[in-house]
Each structure stands twice: as structure tokens, then as C-alpha cells.
Chain A
Amino acid sequence: MATLVLSDAVALRVRSGILEQTGATAAVLQSDTMDHYRTFHMLERLLHAPPKLLHQLIFQIPPSRQALLIERYYAFDEAFVREVLGKKLSKGTKKDLDDISTKTGITLKSCRRQFDNFKRVFKVVEEMRGSLVDNIQQHFLLSDRLSRDYAAIVFFANNRFETGKKKLQYLSFGDFAFCAELMIQNWTLGAVGEAPTDPDSQVDDMDVDLDKEFLQDLKELKVLVADKDLLDLHKSLVCTTLRGKLSIFSEMEANFKNLSRGLVNVAAKLTHSKDVRDLFVDLVEKFVEPCRSDHWPLNDVRLFLNQYSASVHSLDGFRHQALWDRYMGTLRGCLLRLYHD
């Protein structure tokens, strides 16, 4: 296998025109490539625990190059991550890498590296307290950008959000990562305990798990659609404010109840882990698709969502304002990100 891959690498370098540039022979290139493989082989086990790379004595690598090595080793392909995002990082998934490789055109070796990286990071930070991004950064010395991406991957893997459905294919990893970040910031246990003073009391200060209590509480929001008066009032508040401001006002007005039911029902269902997994499917089905079919411009969606969440504050009979804000604040951000073609 090694030689097979070696020949690939050599072929790749030959294609880069390096032989012509340097006047080297194929044999030289071959041996040079082998050397790199050997060096890499020795480096790789250090890359599995990047802090080791920093302290090891075998290679004298300048810090900038160390950082580059780590960054490149932990880099992943958009196409690949979309395939495994939200899946359990288990042996079962690993077996599917063959198919993923065929489907994405990414070599199996690369798929394995990326998968192993995801899994390694997941294993290390899964049980850790404190900020997910910080933990990843500290234990893998990744850049801020990459740490955030890994945080999203870990968060998705832990909550097993469904991302593979056909409906969701139009969404990029960036879209999901954006949502993940918002959810980590607002919906997890770590989000509540903003100022952890006593470390012992922060046993549950975890970024990877959604706040169960919060999810339970979300049921209370159901009243917004169950109580017909409240729903009507909510609608009239939104319509009054937005009249004349939306190009698709009539569509909005016609669809208000459906949309509101959709959004509130999503919230109410989040107590079941099965429904948590389908969060994104539901959001797309219940909100994104209806709006898209009516050709809502993004700006109108924004105006609507802003008004939709703000108007609740004027509903006198509704007692769960804070809960609503925690839910809707995040959801609004997510929906705006998810709303595109």
C-alpha cells in the first residue's frame, strides 16, 4: 500500500513539472519522496498529540512550520465533512469510508485521516469541561478558525444532527458550523454558567451537550400556537408592524400561522432526542422551504423573524419571555443562515 501511494505522490510531483525545473531524474524524485514519507511517518505519531510536537527533541522544526504542519494535518475537505457531519464517529461509520471515498473522489487514505482526526478530537474533548473551542485549541494547537470548525464537528457528532437528507444537501459545512456555534453559545449547559466561579459546581459545564432543562422548558412555548387568541394577537402584531415593509406581505400574512406553528412545534419537540436529530430537517421543511417557494427575499425573512420574535414581548398572556429569547435568538440566526438556495 505504501508503495502504491508513493507512486501516486511521485506521479503528482512529476506532473508539477519539478523534474524539468530542477533537472532531476525520476529516481532522485522517487527517493526524495520516500524520504519525506519516512520523515512524515515519524512525525505523524507526534501530530496525533500536537503538544508533543512542541516538546519533542527529534525534529527541530521552527514554530511557524510546526503550526503549519498541525494545521495541514488537521485540515479537512468540505465534501468529506458534509458526509460524516452529525454521524456517530464509530467503527460503523469508518466502514462506510470506502463509499464516501468513491462518492467524493477523495482518496481513502485521506478520508481515514480526516475521520481519525475527527474521532481523536472528539474523544479528547468529549468529556471535558469548559469552552469547547478553547479545549480543542489547547489540546490540538489548532488555529482559531480550525478550532471552531472542529467544535462544530464535535457538537454535531455528539448530538447526531441529521445533515445528510436530500433536503439538506444545499447546505454547506459553513452553514452548519455557524448554527453549531450559535447553539453552543446559547443552548448548552456551558452557555448558562457564564461565570463559573466554583469549579466543583460546574460539573455540568459542558459545551457538547444541549441543556436538557432548557429543552424541557421549550414545551411551554407551545401555548403560542395552541392558544388561538395568542396566535391571532401575535399575527396581528407582526402584520401591523410589517405592513408595507415587505414585498411579500400578503404571502407572509397568509402563511403566518403555518410558519409560527412550525417554529414553535420544532421547539416543543426537542425533548425527544430523535427530534433533536431532525432539527435541521424540520427547520428546512417548516420554514425555509415554504418561504423559498413564495420567493421571500432574504431581507424580508430577516424583517419577519425580527418582528416575529420581538412581538412576543407584547403578548401579555405569555410568561416565558426569557425562554423565548433564548430559543428564538439562536433560531433566528440559524434560519437566516439556512435561508439560501
Chain B
Amino acid sequence: MNRGGGSPSAAANYLLCTNCRKVLRKDKRIRVSQPLTRGPSAFIPEKEVVQANTVDERTNFLVEEYSTSGRLDNITQVMSLHTQYLESFLRSQFYMLRMDGPLPLPYRHYIAIMAAARHQCSYLINMHVDEFLKTGGIAEWLNGLEYVPQRLKNLNEINKLLAHRPWLITKEHIQKLVKTGENNWSLPELVHAVVLLAHYHALASFVFGSGINPERDPEISNGFRLISVNNFCVCDLANDNNIENASLSGSNFGIVDSLSELEALMERMKRLQEEREDEEASQEEMSTRFEKEKKESLFVVSGDTFHSFPHSDFEDDMIITSDVSRYIEDPSFGYEDFARRGEEHLPTFRAQDYTWENHGFSLVNRLYSDIGHLLDEKFRMVYNLTYNTMATHEDVDTTMLRRALFNYVHCMFGIRYDDYDYGEVNQLLERSLKVYIKTVTCYPERTTKRMYDSYWRQFKHSEKVHVNLLLMEARMQAELLYALRAITRHLT
């Protein structure tokens, strides 16, 4: 299967990598967690995060106020590189977990567990298992889905679809859930649940994308905590978290000089900005560019890494051994490229026809009051967040880059913006970055440190975290848009 692009050496490398995984998984003894680095993230050197933290009193304030666990967890630590964003993040998360809402508290945490389980994110699961019990959840539920009320079980289908192929959600799914009966969901409850699901799917992306380490001091085990499985390959371990040591990946992607890579990117951005004034791509070209980008996203990542293996083989291997599976059904269901099912011809989601600002917000806020404002603020925040820097350069307008990242994620979920020239994506996002984006948003559990290291090597870690935030929010918005559109259709 020629997937185009990607040097053979890369393929070989990943092949090895996947083998490692298999070995790792077969031999269960190695599975005991062993954080790759100390500090909150396996990808980011501890000092980067800690340094930022000591300066920041604000973070502590925020944590004190909004953290449900009452402590500075690793996610918060990493996010605190962007305090402004952190605030809206924590505020909205706190709202959906703790404040007035249609769902009882234990339900909320259980839904979070279900969502995180779709991506085998043991970090989030453990966190919420604790909270679930703390808020008075019934311990029995933690034995698996068979033990929960039918009502929660019914959420499974939508959880599965949202996590992997949100475009398949139709109003029939919604109808099935809300139609009157013993285990029906009211619309506000459903919206609450959907917001939670989308939030935790996206957060799982962030956790894997930034290599969040398990919390250092696992409290007294309550029996339901999972043994943390690090999803990093053994060869990542060998990598020793040294950026300079990235010669391996460097040669993989054939980048000679990372410095020139940055310069080139800057150059391209500049050119694009200038060209924009004169160059006029024909309409046909514009639409083909979207299709092209969509198609191309097919070959990115999975092409080299996993598809050379029988797909299901790998997944089964991975999931069956994992404790996580008790929270999910149909574990083999995964992301499937939007573009690939040309035969079925799924209609592209036109962003202009159902936007967050106009439609999504109104619906969400109507059914689950105030969450709309919080999410709105969060989306705006992440989209507009900029320090006007790129690596060592200052005073750079990064709008273009941010928009490219955001729209590329939406493109993989089949959402198209009429007013966006998808040619820009190609110009601005290099292949290794695309690999990373696709992995993080579609199969976050497969993210490796190598992927994280291999793109934008001149950039600061905080900038990469920024990228992660963008990916996370873009993904959340995409999921929400599909789900809310289905609900709207159900209502009309």
C-alpha cells in the first residue's frame, strides 16, 4: 500500500516502534508505570514548567478556586504556561463538573470516565474515579458498564461516535436518547452530557499530546484506579527527553537545519500575506484545495505508522489488555478518515451553515444555561491567544498560523470554511506537524514523544503547548458542532 509521502526510513522507524509496543504489551511486567521524566509532562522538561509556575501567583489562585481535586494537577501545571487560557479552561470545567446543572455530580464524573476511556486515557480516568467516589458515586459502577444504569449505558453510542466519527451523529441518535421511556434523557441533561463528552475527548487529546505524566503520588489505591500505562514507546525512553538528541527524528523527516525551517515558515507566512492581496485563486481551485487537504490528511500519520499492520489486529492488541475497556463498548471503533468514504459521499459540514457563534451557542445556552458563555469565552480565548512571537522572533502576526491549525483540525472532521483557502494549510503546516496534529486529534493515544519533538524544533515548549490547546479546542468545537446540529435537527 503506497500511501504517498513519508520516506521509507520513517516507516522503518515506526515499524520498529510499533513492535516495541507489541512487546511492551505482551510482557505485562513492563507495564508498571514509570514516568519518563519527572515533572508534569513527559515531553516538556520539568524546569520549563516549574519555572513558569513559581512566577505565577495567578495560577495558584485559579487552582484554589476552580480545581475540583483541590490541587495543582499536571494538566493545570502544563496549561499554566498560558494563564489567561487556563482561567477560562478551569472556569468552564469547574462549571460543568460542579455548578448548577441538570446532571447529578457522580454522573458527571462517570461520563468523564466514559469519555476518557474512549482514548484509553488512564490519567483522566484515575482522576475522575477518585472524584466519582468522592461525590458519592456508587463504587459498583466502576466495575464496568454492565453495572451502570441503562440510562448511562445508552450514552455509549453517542460517546463512541463523538469521539471518533462525530459526522455520523444524526438526529435519530438524539431521538433514541430523548424519546420518552424509562431511561430517557431530557434535552438539558443530554446537552450537559454532550458537553462533558466533548470536553473530555478533547482533554484526552491534550493529555496525550503534551505527554502529561501520571500524578506523582497515587493516593491510597481504592482498587479502581488503573495502573497507568504510558503510551510512550520504549524507544522514546531511550530518547532521554533530549531535544538535541533528536538526530533520529531529524533524519527521518529529512530536515537539514531546523533553523532554516523556521525561517522558511516565516518567509512563507509573509509571502502568503502579501500574495493575498493580488493572487486570486479561481473558485474551482479553492474547493479542490479543500478536497485535497481532506484527502491528504488520509495519508498523514496512519499511512506510515499503522496501516501497514492489519488495523484491527493492532487495536485489539492494545485495548484488550487494557483495563480501560470496561468503560467502553465496541472498543475497535476508531477514527476513520472523513475523506476516505468517498463512496458514501458524506456531505461536507459547511461551517457557515452551522456556526458556533450563531447556532451552537444559542442552543447550548438555552438548554444548559451559562455554559455557552463559558465555552464561548474559551473558544475565543484560544483562538485569539497570541504573544506575537514565533520561536525567537518577536512581533509576528501569528493569526494565519493559528487559523491554519484550527481549520486543519476541522478539515479532518469534515468541516469546511468557505472563506478559507486550504492551500494555506499546505504552505504553513509541515508534514511532521500534520502527523502530530492528526495523531493528537484523531488517535491521541498513539502520540509519541518522537512526534512531539519532530515538528517545529526551534519553537519553545510553551508554543507547542499553545498548539496543543488550539488542537484541543478545535476538536471540542468540532464535536460540539456535530452533536448540536443533530440536536437542532431533532428539534425542528
- Mutual binders A and B: no
| A positions within 8 Å CB-CB of B | none
